[in-house]
Structures are given as structure tokens and as C-alpha cells.
Structure 1
């Protein structure tokens, strides 16, 4: 009996392993035929057929027609069943919140962007909950249909206290237990990630980082941060604080008296740009005003842009010396929207600051959607595993 039981368990384990391999390849390749799956997985065609039949019964994959045009029999194609799972992606910023609901193949079925009510945690939570309810209603779903929610926020999640650290742009989130309130937004399990880390993932999955093993995503806007990709994988550091370049000693003044902001952030963020412009006599209301004036030929605004270029180049010199990235992607409100004024001059100045050839400096190709797309990529990978685990069991 014990030998027979062991054999049955081994057979069941192999079956699940085969199904997982097939499911993963369909997820990666999209619409795919049995021969293509056999080639990609190394499994025999009969084994592929059994796995596909099981996955169809579990409503994880579906047949979607025939591929014709080649000699011989037409090949039946399979794809992930989109409704097998749902991912909620949330970008929580100081100025805007962006929320998207996507099916398991990544197609966004509902989305909403709104100015953030970020002055108090309770107001922001209520706003997010209202948006999610509206998106679910528009998609004909309920909260229990969501497989996983992924939130991108500034700062670092302190798991011991449930607070957000290093997130001065979100007042009140540094209090113990504040992060746990995200459970009020959606009933499903949720994941919290640093927003700039997610932006790096989004750029790697959908933008300029595709196929680049070593790159950094530098977000410059109301705050400053950096996502680091090494050997094609996101690098978080020992406490999740890798890439907190806002605290680099670049700029002016005493880093201990910057009201919770790092030295680099205090001079190079949107507030720093506006503050310098006003000191030089340019009556700018926003950083965008400064960059627009520079484009129009205003000499004072041009001095502000030159200072911004200098700050960014010095910060990237340190990053380059330590990480040696192939590519630096500029994003965020300033990095993306003023990239035409920054990328070229930063690259030129960086060339004089580093010993070897500097990395390429490019402006994000996904723009303001970088964090949302990163949350989507993280959510899809995790949701794929979750729906498989809850649906396919050892029999």
C-alpha cells in the first residue's frame, strides 16, 4: 500500500509540474499550439495534450481557433483564459492616484485617474475604495473576483510597525498601522511595493528596459527615487531601501535640516526647482512653468535648468560608479516631461564626471504610466501562480 501510495503521489506531482510548465509557457508566449508547447517545455506531445485537457477543465486555458497557412494540418491554438483571474493595480502619488483593473492576460478593462486626496490617510483610503467600487461595477465584477491587488506608494513599508517610512509626500502614513488600512480598499490579498521600484519593473516589462540586464529608473518629480535592475531582476536591498537616492549628498545646505527630505531631493525635486527659480527672480508657480519658460528662451529659467542638470549629473556619477548600469531611464513629473531639456545635457556633463563611458540617458517611454504598468506586471506574475495553486491540486 505504501509503495502504491508513493507511486500515486509521484504521478500526481509530475502531472501538476507538467501542467505548471505548460501554463507558464502559454502565459509567456500568448497564443500557442501543441507542437510549440512541446518544443518550449521539452515535454512529449501526448503529455502536452493531457496537460492542456486538465487546464481546460480547470478553466485556466481555452482553445481559440486554428493557425493556418502552412502545409499540413492546421494547428489548434491555446491561450490563457482571461477571466481566470483579475489584478488591481494602484499608483498612489501625492498629486494623482491611478487605478486599473486588468484580466489575467493583462488587458485593462477599466481604469480611472484622479487628483489625489492625500492630505489625510483616511481621505485617500476612502477615495481609493470609491474608485475600486466604480471600476468593479463598470466591469461587472465584485470585490471577491479580484485575485490580487498591487499598490505602489512612495517610501518604504516598515513591516514591524505597519508604517510607511521615507514618504514625506504622504502625510500621516508614517503612523503605525497606516499601511494595513489598504485592506479596506479591496477584499483580495494585496501587495505593497515602492512606487519607483514598480516604475523600473514597468519600464523593464513594457518600455526601454526590455532586454536590458542592468539599468536604473530615476524618478524626479515631487520626490526623487531610483529603481535598480541588476541581472534583469529588481534589486531592493537588505531593508527594501535600495535606490533612495534622494538622500545623496548632492546640492546645497545641511542635509539634517531639510524637513524630512534628502539633500538631493531638496534641490532637484519640483519644489527645489521652483525655489531656485524664485530666488533668481523668476516668478514660477510650478516646475512646469520653469521648464516652459526655458523652452521659450527665458535666461533665468535656463540657469535653473542648468543647475538641475548639474545636480542630476552629479547624482548619476555616484550611481554609475557603484552600479555601472547600461541605461539610465528618466521618469517622474520632471524626468519625463522635461526630458527634452535634461537627457542630452545630463549625458554630456556625466561624461566629464565618470572614469569610463557613461550609461545611456533616455526619457521613459511609458511616461506617467510606469508605476501602474509595474504594478500590473508584478500582479500578473503573482496572480498567475495564485490561480494555478487554488485551481490545480494534487489528485
Structure 2
């Protein structure tokens, strides 16, 4: 079965119009004509077409600007998107309106290694739960993020290192069949970057990097306001940059990758080794109490003043800062946002990343470069996934005309 996007006639003007309404709120036809640099007559025709498609409505008279009053245009109140953010160890699912305001969100622990059938079944059950909670009967589209490489155009995962059983699985089409709506699939870091761009600290940034530090490490790249995926969708896979020829073996099969040194799984591994070797009584007590350690436990040990945990965080931040310094020199971004589960450790990790990045980059590149923590949390993935599918739906509305 061909995907819903194949063969659609794209209307760039309709897409721009809908994006303006999504990002700016209700606008008059006069304002839309000014922003889109077309005539009011053209705007009126496109609004009529979008009204027939159930995507836009006329919302009454606008404030007078002198002369005949224009008409306000808004997104249809019936538009609803689902955002499904799948991580290595958990799921976040939500429903939004057409402006991507979240109406209901749920989070649940889940191991990606359980395979696509199990994980997607849980995700789809959660979608139905949030739809019921928000009183939504039908979706206009759904976005999905997964923690591994994705062929965006085919909607499948490709050789994901931490996702056994997912290689080549038709995630997009399976979710689309179940929900009966258009679906887009991307990797989790790109989804988070788009969420940050829409509703987070990167809202006014045109060129920025979003670095996710979770079980793995990845980077979303936004250039002149657009997400950059690379030729094959692999752009930003910084977790597998080699930082030491003789380092530990990574999940990808290579040795010495950044992720193998500084990801959440690496922190948990090194903390467990320190606890068992008797180098940290704090970590040893946490291990005895909980049976296993996580990156969050390392953060707890840091708060208790444990010097071994502090050093683990410093080492992790140092490695990440080294790689980011190279990216800054190459890309010269205007902002770096740090997100992901490991950032729950707090500002000790951020301080080390900042220090190394600033020291090792050219002063011209870092003189006006903020490096900040994301404030969206898990909801950022839901918003980002919803935004990705909104862009697909708004640029190729079913039945749209060029």
C-alpha cells in the first residue's frame, strides 16, 4: 500500500498559511495577505479550500484597520494530532490541538528491547487512553519518534543499535493502519529538537543544536529554521563518534564511541563497577538497596557529596564537551540545548559541558553561544512529534490543490 503522502499535490501557499495560523494564532485575511505576500483575494480562495478540507475556518470580523473590516481566520477546532515519543526505557504519548497545545499527556516505563509489536501495542493503547481523556474521536495525524536511525521517507527503523527486532519494521504504516490517519516517523532526537523549536528555549533560534543525553547520545540539527537530517537521515548521530581508540565496546559494535563513555548506560555501568569495587560507599548502599544502578542514582550520589559520583559526572561532561567543541567550530550554532533523561542530574553535568566546550572552541564561535538545559522534559517529544506530522498534513492536505 502506498503511503498517504505519495502522489499528493503540495500547495506551498496552503502550507504557509496553515503554519502561520499554527504558530501565530488567529489572523485576519489582510494580515495573512501581508505575511504571505499575496492578494487578499488569493487568501480568500485558499481559506475557502482549506475550509472545505476541514482545516481552517472564518472566525468573525477582525479589528478594523480603516476601511472595510477584514475577516479573522483560524485553524479548525476539530484538528487533533497525536505525539508518540518512544525512548529506550519509557514512552510519552499525548494529544494536541491544531496549534500543538497539549490536551492530555501520559508517561509510562517501557523497555525498547521488548520489540516493535509489544512497544507499539502499548503506545497505541496509550494513544486511545489520552484520546478518551481529551474527548477526541478522530485524529488528523500522528507523529512517532524512536531512539535509533530512521529512513524518514520509508517510515522504518534502520539497524538501530539498541532496538533488537526493529530493523526494517514498518513503524509508520503499522501505526497509520491502527489509528486510521497520516503518520510520520523520525528519530527521537529530531523530534525533541522540533519540540524545543516550537515550544521551548529555542523558539526564537534559527540555527541551533539539540543534544539528547539519555541511554544514548544524539544531536538534532536545525539550520535556518529547518531540521537537517542529512542525505540518509543519519545527521547528528554524535553518540557514535569515536573519542578513544581503546575505549569500551559500544552498543553499535565499535569501540571508544562517545555514547560508550558518557551515555546514561555508561554512567550506570561505571557507577556499578565503583560500587562493587568498594570505591564509593554511597553508590554501594544504593546498589544494595535497589539491586541495580541508573544514571539518576549517580545524580543522587552527587547530591550527597560522593566524590566518585562527582568524578563520573565530570568525566562524562568532559567527553561530551570535547565533541561539542568540534561541532561548534564546524557548525557555529547560535544556541545549544541539552536535554534527555541524564540531564536530570542537573547543573553539575551542564557546568562541565559548558566549561570544556567554551575552552576548546574558537572565541568567535562561543562569544554569544548559550548552552542551556531544556525545560520541556518528556512533553517536548510529544509536541515535537505532533509538529512533524502537522507539517506533513498542512503541506499535503488530503484533496489539497496546488
Distance 1:23 1:274 in 2: 45
Distance 1:59 1:307 in 2: 53
Aligned pairs for 1:194-233 (under 5 A) are: 194-233=187-226
Matched, 1:154 2:147: yes
Task: Report the counterpart of residue 171 of structure 1 in structure 2.
Answer: 164
Aligned residue for 2:119, secondary structure, equals helix
Query: Do the aligned partners of residues 17 and 319 (structure 1) sit closer, same or farther apart at CA in structure 2, a change above 3 Å counting?
Result: closer
Aligned residue for 1:98, secondary structure, equals strand
Task: Report the counterpart of residue 385 of structure 2 in structure 1.
Answer: 375
Task: Report the counterpart of residue 265 of structure 1 in structure 2.
Answer: 259
Distance 1:332 1:17 in 2: 34
Task: Report the counterpart of residue 3 of structure 2 in structure 1.
Answer: none
> Which residue, out of 104, 128, 131, partners 1:136?
131
> Which residue, out of 69, 91, 109, partners 1:115?
109
Matched, 1:97 2:91: yes
Aligned residue for 1:330, secondary structure, equals strand
Aligned pairs for 1:53-64 (under 5 A) are: 55-56=50-51, 59-64=54-59
Aligned 8 A contact 1:218 1:328 in 2: yes
| CA shift for structure 1 position 225 | 0.7
Matched, 1:296 2:272: no
Task: Say what the alpha-carbon RMSD is for the aligned residues.
Answer: 3.2
Distance 1:99 1:376 in 2: 10
Aligned 8 A contact 2:206 2:222 in 1: yes
Task: Report the counterpart of residue 28 of structure 2 in structure 1.
Answer: 33
Query: Do the aligned partners of residues 386 and 346 (structure 1) sit closer, same or farther apart at CA in structure 2, a change above 3 Å counting?
Result: same
Aligned 8 A contact 1:246 1:261 in 2: no
Aligned 8 A contact 1:86 1:146 in 2: yes
| CA shift for structure 1 position 196 | 0.3
Task: Report the counterpart of residue 82 of structure 1 in structure 2.
Answer: 77
| CA shift for structure 1 position 183 | 4.2
Distance 1:20 1:370 in 2: 23
User: Highest CA radius of gyration, 1 or 2?
Assistant: 1
Distance 1:162 1:41 in 2: 32
Distance 1:43 1:122 in 2: 48
Stretches of structure 2 that go unaligned for 5 or more consecutive residues are 1-8, 287-292
| CA shift for structure 1 position 137 | 3.5
Aligned residue for 1:82, secondary structure, equals coil
| CA shift for structure 1 position 349 | 2.1
Aligned residue for 2:201, secondary structure, equals coil
Aligned 8 A contact 1:219 1:226 in 2: yes
Aligned 8 A contact 1:25 1:41 in 2: no
TM superposition score normalised by structure 2: 0.81
Aligned 8 A contact 1:251 1:311 in 2: no
Distance 2:384 2:208 in 1: 15
Distance 2:169 2:22 in 1: 39
